[in-house]
Amino acid sequence: MWGRTRETDSGWVGAAPGDDLDRRLEVEQEPFDLARPHVWTLLGPIAPGALGTTLVGEPLDVTVRSFDRLDAGATPREALLAELEDAYAAGVRAIVGLCRSERALDELGWLAGRSGVHLVAAAPPAVLAADDDCPIGAILLDLDELGRSSDDKAEQVVALCRERSLPVSVRARSPRAARDAATTLLRHGLEADRLWVGGCSWEDDVGAAVAVIESGASVAFDGLYRGEPARPPAQRGGANVAVIAALVRADHAARLLLGSGIDRAERYRVGGGESGLAAVIGRFPLDLMEEGVEATAIQQMLVAAPARLLTIRAERG
């Protein structure tokens, strides 16, 4: 059910003239040696270098439902597929999407079979427990799931990470809570280079972000456009620019990840919004460059850092 098929896929907007889909299908259908480093997408394993420009922490599970309330002249799936095609045309090649339910995983599986964008699912342990063979590329841990039994939960997550060789994505509402969750997981033996934390506004506590980075874990600025359209155009995405630029100057670019955080269909361009996923690629890098961030650092945040975190180095057992 997770594979791309000739019957359901006829190409995508933004493909290069020499991008032969039939040939790509043939290549993808060849057995992949899981002893090689790889990233687990919704369509199966790919080489880390095939990811390209990657956005992390995109709440696609929420967005699919929000399209139900939007009169876009298309089904929610088709509307979101159009947004993915728009993002592909702008240069997005991979998205780490949040999948908090089996239904959300099915929705993203449908999209993955029709989009040129590689989709990597970050899902909670419960989804993996329901289907041991589901194609999850990262373990998602909402901070609320730690709860009072944080030590027990942390031990379970670390054990699952080791068993599946998967990275862990922690979502928290505040920088301090994110820092504390990272500390708990690392104390229970999670390798720092398998962890990234996000879901919060790091500009509210830059010290917490620095503490996470200095622990060896990574920080995701995955809400760059979450506030649209509430904020004035000049401020959209801008609250994080100075913070990210300062972290880059401190030589932390390799530990930073980026994502739009858009969680409402009307904020996508196909829903009548001004930004969409493409804005993170088309607009935000320019804002960073105006703050003195070099293109090589932006490449680290959008390409090298996510590829490193998502890489599985051994066959999953």
How much is the pLDDT for 310? 97
How much is the pLDDT for 25? 54
Please answer whether residues 278 and 92 qualify as being in contact, where contact means their C-beta atoms are separated by less than 8 angstroms.
yes
Judged against a pLDDT cut of 60, whether residue 9 lies above it is answered with no
Which tokens in the block code for residue 56?
């992390």
pLDDT, tens digit, 9 for 90 and up, residues 58-95: 988 776 666 655 555 567 777 788 889 888 998 999 99
Amino acid letter at 277?
L
How much is the pLDDT for 4? 40
* Selected residue with higher pLDDT from 233 and 94: 94
Give me the domains of the chain, ranges plus CATH numbers: 21-310 (3.20.20.140)
- What residue has token string 């999407």? 97
How much is the pLDDT for 48? 94
Mean pLDDT of 273-279: 69
Average pLDDT score, the chain: 81
pLDDT, tens digit, 9 for 90 and up, residues 170-197: 999 899 999 999 999 999 999 999 999 9
Which tokens in the block code for residue 182?
């990272």
- 122 beta partners: 98, 138
How much is the pLDDT for 81? 86
In the chain, the N- to C-terminal Cα span, in Å, equals 21
- What residue has token string 């990657």? 54
User: Computed from CA positions of residues 29, 33, 38, 39, in that sequence, does the dihedral angle turn out positive or negative?
Assistant: positive
Segment of 26-35, 102-111, 193-202, 219-228 carrying the highest mean pLDDT: 193-202
Mean pLDDT of 117-137: 88
Q: Could you write out the three-class secondary structure of the chain?
A: CCCCCCCCCCCCCCCCCCCCHHHHHHHHHCCCCCCCCEEEECCEEECHHHCCCEEEEECHHHHHHHHHHCCCCCCHHHHHHHHHHHHHHHCCCEEEEECCCHHHHHHHHHHHCCCCCEEEEEECHHHHHHCCCCCEEEEEEEHHHCCCCHHHHHHHHHHHHHHHCCCEEEECCCHHHHHHHHHHHHHCCCCHHHEEEECCCHHHCHHHHHHHHHCCCEEEECCCCCCCCCCCHHHCCHHHHHHHHHHHHCCCHHHEEECCCCCCHHHCHHHCCCCCCHHHHHCHHHHHHHCCCCHHHHHHHHHHHHHHHHCECCCCC
Judged against a pLDDT cut of 80, whether residue 147 lies above it is answered with no
- 118 beta partners: 94
Judged against a pLDDT cut of 50, whether residue 248 lies above it is answered with yes
Q: How confident is the model at residue 56 (pLDDT cuts 50, 70, 90)?
A: very high
